[in-house]
A and B are shown apart, each in its own frame.
Chain A
Amino acid sequence: MNRTWRVIALVAVLGLVGAACGGDEDTGADTTTSAAPSGDLSGGTLKLAQTADVDVAFDPTRSYYSVTWQYYRCCLLRTMMSFNGKPTEEGGAEARPDLAAAEPEVSADGLTWTFSIKPGINYAPPFDDVAITANDFITALKRTANPKTNVGGYSFYYSVIEGFDDYGDGKADEISGLTAVDDQTLEVTLTAPAGDLPYRFTMPATAPIPPLDGGEFGVATGHDKDYGRFLVASGPYMFKGSEALDFSVPAKDQEPVAGYVPGRSIELVRNPSWSADTDELRLAYPDEITTEIGGDNDDLYNKVEQGAIDLVVDGVVPPEKLRAYQTDPDLQNRLKVYPADGVYYVSFNLAMPPFDDVHVRKAFNWIFDKEGFRQLRGGETTGELAGHNIINAVTGNINAEYDPYATPNGAGDVEKAKEEMAQSKYDNDGDGVCDDPACEGILTMTDREDPYPKQAALMQQFLEPIGISLDVKELERTVMYNKCNDMNEQVAFCAGPGWFKDYADGYTFGNPLFTSDGLWESCCNYSGLGASADQLSEWGYDATEVPSVDDKADECTAATGDERVQCWAELDQQLMEEVVPWVPYLFFNQVDLLSPNLTNYSFDQSAGIAAFDQLALVGEGNLTSG
């Protein structure tokens, strides 16, 4: 999943923050929730910076990157359901009605969902006289189903809609499971229960697209690759110059918006069609939001300190800055650290020796120096040591204290690892050291960027006492993921991945990572869990079976409410104790540094970064920094 690895790219290099974050549990950062200051916070220009551009030039069907999603959520696109731009403890992980007038109604069998849509909400110019209707959601989902327009996206989340795949395959003219009962009512019929459907309707690919005569995909027709530069907004902001969009001429002759220059800048201005009266989720304080793209990471943080820009969206706080902001009481409230709802891990291929033996996999978990890995990433501030696979935010903190392989200081336990290895078929003399050739030179893929090569070197050291050696291949990130994704590649050990939630539900971890649904060339079940004998044979493995948790995951997918949360937590425990496909080592954090101009910071748990619409500028409404 693109968004996952790109988010990880943001946080990955937090290794640089190292020296600043010694052994003290207190990170010195302000993680308190932000009470809104009194007074009118509106006005001013919020100045953001990014080291790199958003993904796919803002195409909402294809975008799979948390930064781009934040622009959509806060500013550009309203969806049927959405989030309030707050951290988990303030309900930021809950899907709430946005364009929907209320929570959807669901039939007793869980297969039919009915959304009622708020009336009288219009698009941004030049469609400011066009109201959003049920058909516009269908248009968006048609574009999501279309293989020419959904490249790199996440159409798999909507395959559960009846007729979705048939439409995408060209076997049907319409998606049979989507019905616009009237302008204000959308009925969705599923082929199997999906308790998280409201979450799936928070995602930008489902945001309504205005109609255009003769256009299958509305105004996006003809913009298979570049709709993002012609985006018609529905949120409180729009791209500067949106009113000049002219959809009356053929797509190839249309001029893109002036407010987004790929690789260079983003300029958002207020959408005159938007009204706070119809939107309970967005505060939309700044009058304008500008983003400069590119530049040196450290220099950008100097600009933040000087107030020349207000926030670096995708940067890595330099160590000296982090240290200063952690220790100076006057600056601490300008350093924000929040869990980003992602996990770093190493993954075993269960169809390959020696990882076809659960005792070897458990031995890895026991000996793993998680604290060493964290230190290589920068220490305490980078995140919390992971004792299990699935982030706590989606399992209701049920497993918050759960760690079946806990070791002193997270540094690994050689003796316990040897006890486990001694039970494996690869330790013939039972001395706790693997003596089988399968343990020598295990093919290992990792990311070539810092800190992964250093982590691999550390791993070589701490695995030696149990007789394991690795043949490490350092690859460009996308190539590494492609190889780990593809079971044909027969990668025994994948040492560089990470995973970030798409939305706050266990499905976004459990299903793609651990079930047979994730066993396709571009997805994410690196362990091969749930693979059939035929698949294993086709991929060239000698193994004829691997463990499966498909049944349990199906049970969780169909469940709702507390039962659903409990189910994913149970699956996590089953994975840790019985299946053991990974060693999870870090639940990572997002670290933000604020300029003195900013107030009312809010961490948007849904995207895992700051909520742009909630940020307000000091001086607007006579506020002070805080």
Chain B
Amino acid sequence: MGRYLIRRTLFLVLVLFIVSLLTFLIFVKLPAGDPARRAVGRSTTPEQIEAARQAFGLDKPIYVQYARFAKGLIPWPGLFLTEDVYYSYGNFVAVKEEIYRRLPVTITLAVGAAVIWLAMGVPIGIISAVRKGSVWDRAGMVFALIGVSMPVFWLGQLLLYFFWFKLGWAPSSGLEIGDTIWQSIAKGKFILPWITLAFTSAAFYARMVRGNLIETMNEDYIRTARAKGLAEKRVIYKHGLRGALTPVVTMLGLDIGLLLGGAFITETLFGLPGIGQLAVTSIGTNDFPMVMGVTVLGAFFIAVANLVVDVVYAFLDPRVRYT
């Protein structure tokens, strides 16, 4: 297990290295125009452009340029997202400060949505599988079809329009100025974003749980359990579900990791000041220090989630052994 973790951690570092390198190339080197000029804006003198070039190290060989950015991604005091490189020229704030300020919003959105989609998707999947071919199964799968067919940007606007604008049942978009995350949750500001984000995933999870459970229930060990005379509920919930939910845990880990990197559309649509909204704004303004920070953070969450999922797998499925 120890060796496995070390190997996976080294792999995680490799992934982050590749992501940071690609991000650097895509957002700093590939776009048309001089990055130093992009950084200082239009109305600037050649001297100011040159000063920006030196400040960002863009006058150095490309590997040195990358090294300056890469050094700031090392999670170590004094190195991590240092302000000399990781300073937003869009918002004129330290990248670190901005990310820390926005992370709670994104975490709240991701975790809340995950709770909802699990609460919806897993029971629907189980009912559909257990009562395969019944009205419940068909209803569940119609829900799943509708859910996976609705794009988030459309569903979010639809929910806002009807439940806030027309009916006034839900609060409007955005967080009220000065409110903490807890106050915003208490005011219901996350309800529509959670539902928007959760709906598609709930539908997907329902289909996945249904498929897995039906497949598991045909396994030999399930037949054995039944042959032993175990109650059907016990067969389903203790033996069948355990096997059927293992892939769900994998997906959940990856999905949450993905969302922690920013739910771009939902945050933008609902005016939530999270990491996703920050990423969209930063890419739009070519704010490459911010883009680097946000992208690598997103990759970090996904990679860590992947690692956690793999470790948790062993506890859920005794057949999995780490070597």
Contact = CB atoms under 8 A, between A and B. Distances in A.
Interface of A: 1-2, 5, 52-53, 56-57, 59, 64, 147-148, 151-154, 156, 225-226, 228-229, 261-265, 267, 290, 292-296, 298-300, 302-303, 305-306, 308, 475-476, 478-479, 481-483, 485, 520-523
B91 A53 contact: yes
B33 A262 contact: no
Nearest to B282: A263
Nearest to B156: A296
Given A263-B273, A485-B42, A294 B92 contact: no
A308 B49 CA distance: 43
Given A64-B43, A478-B41, A292 B177 contact: yes
A114 B114 CA distance: 67
Contacts of A153: 43
A229 B97 CA distance: 14
Given A267-B177, A306-B165, A294 B277 contact: yes
Given A267-B177, A292-B271, A299-B173, A154 B43 contact: yes
A509 to B, nearest CB: 15
B178 to A, nearest CB: 7
Contacts of A267: 177-178
13 contacts: A64-B41, A147-B48, A151-B40, A152-B41, A152-B44, A263-B273, A290-B177, A293-B273, A295-B271, A296-B269, A478-B41, A479-B32, A522-B49
B268 A476 contact: no
Contacts of A264: 101, 273
B43 A262 contact: no
Given A148-B51, A292-B174, A478-B42, 11 more contacts: A5-B42, A57-B91, A147-B45, A261-B101, A263-B91, A290-B177, A300-B271, A302-B160, A476-B33, A479-B31, A482-B38
Contacts of B93: 57, 226, 229, 262
B87 A302 contact: no
Contacts of A521: 37, 46, 49
Contacts of B165: 302, 305-306
Nearest to A228: B92
B92 A57 contact: yes
B178 A478 contact: no
Interface string B154-165: 000100110011
Q: Identify the 7 closest CB pairs spanning chains A and B, nearest first.
A: A295-B271, A152-B41, A57-B92, A479-B33, A262-B91, A265-B177, A264-B273
Nearest to A261: B101
B196 to A, nearest CB: 12
Contact of B37 (A265, A302, A482): A482
B38 A479 contact: yes
Most A C-beta atoms less than 10 A away, residue of B40, B41, B177: B41
B92 A56 contact: yes
Interface in B159-217: 160-161, 164-165, 172-174, 177-178
Contacts of B43: 1-2, 64, 152-154, 156, 522-523
A264 B175 CA distance: 9
A485 to B, nearest CB: 7
Nearest to B47: A147
B49 A225 contact: no
Contacts of B281: 52-53, 263, 294
Interface of B: 31-34, 37-38, 40-49, 51-52, 87, 90-93, 98, 101, 157, 160-161, 164-165, 172-174, 177-178, 268-273, 277-278, 281, 286
Contact of B87 (A56, A225, A485): A225
B32 A294 contact: no
Nearest to A266: B177
A479 B39 CA distance: 11
B158 to A, nearest CB: 12
Given A154-B43, A294-B174, A298-B157, A478 B91 contact: no
Nearest to B33: A479
Contacts of B271: 292, 294-296, 299-300
A295 B160 CA distance: 12
A148 to B, nearest CB: 8
A300 B173 CA distance: 8
B45 A520 contact: yes
Contacts of B98: 262-263
Contacts of A478: 33, 38, 41-42, 286
A306 B42 contact: no
Contact of B40 (A152, A228, A523): A152
A2 B45 contact: no
Contacts of B33: 475-476, 478-479, 482-483
A516 to B, nearest CB: 16
Contacts of B278: 263
Contacts of B44: 151-152, 522
A375 to B, nearest CB: 26
A267 B176 CA distance: 11
Contacts of A228: 92
Given A52-B281, A306-B165, A476 B40 contact: no
A293 B161 CA distance: 20
A479 B37 CA distance: 9
B280 to A, nearest CB: 9
A402 to B, nearest CB: 30
B192 to A, nearest CB: 11
Contacts of A305: 165
A482 B39 CA distance: 12
B92 A2 contact: no
A262 B92 contact: yes
B96 to A, nearest CB: 13
Contacts of B41: 2, 64, 151-152, 478
Contact of B157 (A229, A299, A475, A520): A299
B88 to A, nearest CB: 8
Indicate the member of B32, B41, B43, B273 with the most A CB atoms within 10 Å: B43
Contact of B32 (A5, A298, A476): A476
Nearest to B265: A296
A264 B179 CA distance: 12
Contacts of A302: 160-161, 164-165
Contacts of B45: 147, 520, 522
Interface-central residue, A298, A476, A483, by most chain B CB under 10 Å? A476
Nearest to B290: A263
B193 to A, nearest CB: 12
Contacts of A296: 157, 173, 268-271
B243 to A, nearest CB: 42
Contacts of A154: 43
Nearest to B176: A292
Nearest to B44: A522
A292 B177 CA distance: 7
